Amino acid sequence: MFAEVSFPISSYQTFSYKVPDHLASKIAVGMRVKVPLGNRKVNGIVVGINKSSSFKGKIRKIDDLIDDQRVLNDNLWSLIKWLAEYYNSPLGIAAKAVLPSNLSTKYKPKVEVLVKVLPGKEIKSSIGRAQKTVYDYLKSLETDVPIKALSHLCSSPINICKKLAEKEMVSLIEKPIIPDLSEFAFKSKNKKIILTQAQNIALEKMTSSMDKNKFNPFLLHGVTGSGKTEIYIEAARHAIQLDKTVIMLLPEISLTPQIAGRFRSAFGDDVALWHSKLSQGGRAWTWKQICEGKFKVVIGARSAIFAPLKNVGLIVVDEEQESSYKQESPNPRYHARDVALMRGKLDNASVILASATPSMESYYNYLNGKYEYIHLKERFGGAKYPKVHVVDMIKESAETAVYGDIFSRLLLEKIEDRLSKKEQIILFHNRRGFAPILRCDDCGEVSMCPHCNIALTYHRSGKYLQCHFCNHTQNMIPSKCTSCQSYNINLSGTGTQKVEDELSNKFPNAIIKRLDADSVRSGINLTKTLQDFSDKKIDILLGTQMIAKGLDFANATLVGIINGDTGLFLPDFRSSEKVFQLIYQAAGRAGRGEIPGEVIIQTYSPDNPVIKCATELNVEKYYNICLEERKALMYPPFSWMVKIEIRGKNIKEVEKSINKIKNKMVNPPKGISILGPALCYREKLRDYYRMQLIIKSNKELDVNGAKLHKYYKSILSKDIGVQIPLKQRLVIDINPVSLL
C-alpha cells in the first residue's frame, strides 16, 4: 500500500511513501503523517492511497501518523485541489493556507463549571444551611447554572456545590469556553423577530432550495437596514433542522460584532468563530472540534470558508463586494466569494451572496441568469432612507473665502444640532494619519518612502512620517526640501487625525472616538469602542472605510462624509465602483431607528457621475453606467483577467524579464488581449520594483475562463523558454481585485 503525500513547500509535486503494515488499517486521506524528506523529518498530508506506485526510484516509509482522525474531509480536499489548480498555487501551499499551522498543540480552552440538580433526592437533615440554600435555589430553576452565578447566595459556591455533588444531589459539568467568541460579539438585545412578508419570501426561496439538496446560488440585494441578518439567522436555523451546517462569512470580524452577537444569541454554543486573531492554540482546538462535529455554525472572515464542517447546507457571504475577501498575498491569491461558490457546488449547498451594493461581477452574473435574484427594496419597519445633502466644497470656499477647510458650514451646523439633541454622529474620512503628505510649495517635491516610492504620511501623535505600505518610519521631519533646498515645505491634505483635532477644537465638550488602522494597531479594542458607541457613551465616531459597513445604531442620525472624492482618481478600473459603494454604505449607517437620518457628503466634484449617483443613492443607475464603461473596455465582469507581475531590486532586470514574457505573447488566441508591460502604480514597494502585464479574455468567447488559464500557463511554461531569474519574483494573480 502506498500513500501520496503533499508538503507545504513550493512544489507542485506530491511524493509516494510506503505504508507500514501497522498503519494500514488506520491511514486515510486527510490525515497528517510524519515522513522522511531528504535528510529531514517533516509533516505532510496524505492526499491519496493506492495499491501500487508508478514512481520508479527508491520509495521510503511513513514513520508515523500525527492524527488519529482526519483533519480534512473529502470535499475540503477537493476544494484544496481546485484552489491549487485555479489560483496557480502548489498543492502544498494551498493546503497550508487552509489548515491551521500547528494542529498538534496541547491547548485546552478554559472551562466553565455548570451545576445541575439530580432528580429524586430527598434533602437530608444533616446538610448545612448554605448547602440547603443553594440546593433549593437550583431546584427552583430546573436548568444548568454556571457556578459563578451562585455567588449571591454564599461566599464559596464552588465548595458548597462540591459537597452537594459528593452527596450525589447535584452533578457538576465542565463546559469549554469557546475561544474569543465573547471578545468579538456584542451582547445582543433580545427582541422579538417576526419576519416581514418580504423577508419571508426571501427565506422561503432559500429553505426550499436547501430542502432540494442542490447547489443554488442567490444574489440577495437588500438595501441597508432591510433585515438581511434576520434572514440569515432563520435560513441557518432551517439548515440546522435539516442536520446540515452553516458558514457565515463577514468581511472583518472585529468590525461586525453585532452579527456575531446575534448568531450567538440564536444558536448558543453551536457557533464557532474563525478568524486571524485566534491564538494558534485556539485555532487548532477549534479546528479539531469542528472536525468532530461539535459546531453547526462557523462565523468568520475569508479563511472561514475552509472550516472543516461536514455537510454544509448554507453559505452566506455578507457584503460580498468587499475586497477583503480576496487574499492579496501570499499564494494562493483566492477570492473567498469564488471559493464559496465552489464549496457550495461540492457540498450541494445554497450560497447567498448578500449586499446593498453588489459587486459588478455578481450583478452581471445575476443579469446573465447565473444567480437567483432576491431584492429587498425597503428598510425594515418603514425606516426612511436618509435625506442626503451634497456640499460643493469649491463653492463653499468661494463663499467663505477660506480654502481647504475640513468642515463645511452645513456639516458644522448639523453636528451642533445632533449634539444638542443627544443624538449620535458618524463621520467618515477614508485616509488615516494627520496630514498625509509633506510638500514643497516651491518645486512640488513630496517626501517619499525610500523603499516604496510612495508619499510618506505625517502622523501627529508622535510627530513622525510613515510609509503606509512598508511601515518605514522617519522621526526627523525635514526642515528643507531635498530637491530645491527651499524652506517652504508644508503639510498638505487631511487625514483622520487632523479631522479629529479640528473636531475637538470645534466641539470641546463632545466625546469623540477615532477608529482606523492606526488606532487598531495601538491596541484599541474595536469591539469595545463599538459597544460604547452603541451604549451612547460616545457622541461622535470618526473612522475610515473600516466602519462603513454592517453597523446598526438606531441613535446615529447624522453621517458626514468629509471628502467623497477620496480614491476617485486612482488608476484602477474599479476605483469608481469602490467610491460609489463606500458612499452608499456609509450613508446607510444613518437613521436606522425611528428617527430619520441625514447624510452630508462634501465633494469637490459634485457633477462627477459616480458622486451624483451615490448621492442620489441610485444603485441601478450607477451600475448601468459602470457596466457600459467596463464593456467598452472589455474589463471585468466582461472578461476574465490574469495579472502577471515581476518584482526585483534591479529595474533593468525586471524590465528584461517582463519583456521576455511579453515577447512570447505574439498572436494570442481570439478574445484574448494583453495590456502592458507597464510599471505598477506603486512601482516600488519594499525596495522591489514592480512591472505588470494584464491578460484579459472576453467571456463571450471563454465562458468559464478555461481558455485564459490554458493560455497563461502555456506562456509561463519552461518549455517555451521563459525563465525568471531566482533573484526576481513572479507573481500571478487570477482575477485580481486591484491593479494598483
Cα separation, 460 vs 129, whole angstroms: 63
* Interaction of residue 320 with ligand ADP, rule CB under 6 A: no
Distance of CA 300 to the CA centre of its chain: 8
- The residue within the footprint of Zn ion, chosen from 29, 37, 242, 470 (CB under 5 A), is 470
Binding partner of residue 222 among ligand ADP, Zn ion, none, CB cut-off 5 to 8 Å per kind: ligand ADP
* Interaction of residue 497 with ligand ADP, rule CB under 6 A: no
* Interaction of residue 394 with Zn ion, rule CB under 5 A: no
Alpha-carbon dihedral sign for residues 453, 276, 335, 524: negative
Binding partner of residue 63 among ligand ADP, Zn ion, none, CB cut-off 5 to 8 Å per kind: none
Cα separation, 471 vs 466, whole angstroms: 6
Binding partner of residue 629 among ligand ADP, Zn ion, none, CB cut-off 5 to 8 Å per kind: none
Contact predicate 314/206, CB 8 Å: yes
* Interaction of residue 402 with ligand ADP, rule CB under 6 A: no
Binding partner of residue 472 among ligand ADP, Zn ion, none, CB cut-off 5 to 8 Å per kind: Zn ion
The x, y and z cell numbers of residue 685, run together, are 514597494
* Interaction of residue 195 with ligand ADP, rule CB under 6 A: yes
Give 563's Cβ-side CA count (13 Å radius).
20
Closest CA to 202 of 69, 358, 375, 10: 375
- 501 by DSSP, 3-state: which? helix
* Interaction of residue 228 with ligand ADP, rule CB under 6 A: yes
Which residue's CB is nearer to ligand ADP, number 194 or number 476? 194
The x, y and z cell numbers of residue 639, run together, are 472578461
Binding partner of residue 194 among ligand ADP, Zn ion, none, CB cut-off 5 to 8 Å per kind: ligand ADP
* Interaction of residue 464 with Zn ion, rule CB under 5 A: no
Q: How far is the CB of 195 from ligand ADP (least distance, A)?
A: 5
Binding partner of residue 449 among ligand ADP, Zn ion, none, CB cut-off 5 to 8 Å per kind: Zn ion
Q: How far is the CB of 380 from ligand ADP (least distance, A)?
A: 4
- The residue within the footprint of ligand ADP, chosen from 222, 261, 386, 493 (CB under 6 A), is 222
Contact predicate 314/223, CB 8 Å: no
Which residue's CB is nearer to Zn ion, number 7 or number 689? 689
Q: How far is the CB of 252 from ligand ADP (least distance, A)?
A: 15
- The residue within the footprint of ligand ADP, chosen from 196, 323, 492, 618 (CB under 6 A), is 196
Cα separation, 62 vs 16, whole angstroms: 10
DSSP 118-151: PTT-PPPTTS-HHHHHHHHHHHHH-S-EEGGGGT
Q: How far is the CB of 438 from Zn ion (least distance, A)?
A: 11
Which residue stretch of 87-95, 281-289, 486-494, 707-715 sits at the interface with Zn ion (rule: CB under 5 A)? 486-494
- 281 by DSSP, 3-state: which? helix
Q: How far is the CB of 249 from ligand ADP (least distance, A)?
A: 14
- The residue within the footprint of ligand ADP, chosen from 14, 89, 224, 615 (CB under 6 A), is 224
Binding partner of residue 486 among Zn ion, ligand ADP, none, CB cut-off 5 to 8 Å per kind: Zn ion
* Interaction of residue 322 with ligand ADP, rule CB under 6 A: no
| Count of residues that interact with ligand ADP, criterion CB under 6 A | 15
Which residue stretch of 80-88, 199-207, 293-301, 464-472 sits at the interface with Zn ion (rule: CB under 5 A)? 464-472
Binding partner of residue 481 among ligand ADP, Zn ion, none, CB cut-off 5 to 8 Å per kind: Zn ion
Which residue's CB is nearer to Zn ion, number 451 or number 612? 451
Which residue stretch of 107-115, 188-196, 245-253, 600-608 sits at the interface with ligand ADP (rule: CB under 6 A)? 188-196
Determine which helix (DSSP H) or strand (DSSP E) holds 425, and give its type and residue range: strand 424-428
Contact predicate 471/427, CB 8 Å: no
Q: Exposed, middle or buried: residue 189 (CB in 10 Å: 0-12, 13-18, 19+)?
A: exposed
Q: How far is the CB of 196 from ligand ADP (least distance, A)?
A: 5
Which residue's CB is nearer to ligand ADP, number 232 or number 640? 232
Binding partner of residue 342 among Zn ion, ligand ADP, none, CB cut-off 5 to 8 Å per kind: none
Q: What is the residue whose three cell numbers read 481585485?
A: 737
- Which residues on neighbouring strands pair with residue 425, listed in sequence order? 540, 558
Report the Cα–Cα distance between both ends of the chain, in Å, rounded: 50
- 1 by DSSP, 3-state: which? coil
For 162, residues 6+ apart whose C-beta sits below 8 A from its C-beta are: 172
For the window 361-400, what string marks contact with ligand ADP as x by the rule CB under 6 A?
A: -------------------x--------------------
Cα separation, 175 vs 121, whole angstroms: 25
Other CB atoms within 10 Å distance of the CB of residue 522 = 8
Q: What is the residue whose three cell numbers read 487574499?
A: 327
* Interaction of residue 418 with ligand ADP, rule CB under 6 A: no
Contact predicate 262/297, CB 8 Å: no
* Interaction of residue 8 with ligand ADP, rule CB under 6 A: no
Using DSSP bridges, classify how beta strands 312-318 and 350-355 pair: parallel, antiparallel or unpaired.
Answer: parallel
Other CB atoms within 10 Å distance of the CB of residue 421 = 12
Which residue's CB is nearer to ligand ADP, number 103 or number 374? 374
The x, y and z cell numbers of residue 142, run together, are 430546573
- The residue within the footprint of ligand ADP, chosen from 67, 230, 347, 500 (CB under 6 A), is 230
* Interaction of residue 707 with ligand ADP, rule CB under 6 A: no
Residue closest to ligand ADP when measured from CB atoms: 227
Q: How far is the CB of 43 from Zn ion (least distance, A)?
A: 36
Contact predicate 472/449, CB 8 Å: yes
* Interaction of residue 465 with Zn ion, rule CB under 5 A: no
Distance of CA 700 to the CA centre of its chain: 31
* Interaction of residue 482 with Zn ion, rule CB under 5 A: no
Which residue's CB is nearer to ligand ADP, number 258 or number 566? 258
CA distances from 580 to 88, 104, 388 (A): 32, 46, 14
Binding partner of residue 501 among Zn ion, ligand ADP, none, CB cut-off 5 to 8 Å per kind: none
| Count of residues that interact with Zn ion, criterion CB under 5 A | 15
Q: How far is the CB of 552 from Zn ion (least distance, A)?
A: 37
Distance of CA 462 to the CA centre of its chain: 30
Binders of Zn ion among residues 290 to 319 (CB under 5 A) are none
- 708 by DSSP, 3-state: which? helix
Binding partner of residue 729 among ligand ADP, Zn ion, none, CB cut-off 5 to 8 Å per kind: none
Binding partner of residue 346 among ligand ADP, Zn ion, none, CB cut-off 5 to 8 Å per kind: none
Alpha-carbon dihedral sign for residues 437, 438, 443, 448: negative
**CA gyration radius, the chain:** 29
* Interaction of residue 585 with ligand ADP, rule CB under 6 A: no
For 191, residues 6+ apart whose C-beta sits below 8 A from its C-beta are: none
* Interaction of residue 257 with ligand ADP, rule CB under 6 A: no
Q: How far is the CB of 261 from ligand ADP (least distance, A)?
A: 11
Which residue's CB is nearer to ligand ADP, number 105 or number 265? 265
- The residue within the footprint of Zn ion, chosen from 223, 250, 336, 449 (CB under 5 A), is 449
Cα separation, 464 vs 434, whole angstroms: 10
- The residue within the footprint of ligand ADP, chosen from 229, 286, 466, 576 (CB under 6 A), is 229
Cα separation, 392 vs 441, whole angstroms: 26
Dihedral class, residue 391 (left if φ above 0, else alpha if ψ from -120 to 50, else beta): beta
Binders of ligand ADP among residues 534 to 573 (CB under 6 A) are 552
- Which residues on neighbouring strands pair with residue 49, listed in sequence order? 3
Alpha-carbon dihedral sign for residues 20, 21, 27, 29: positive
Residues that bind ligand ADP (CB under 6 A): 193-196, 199, 222, 224-230, 380, 552
Residues that bind Zn ion (CB under 5 A): 440, 442-443, 445, 449, 451-452, 467, 469-470, 472, 481, 483-484, 486
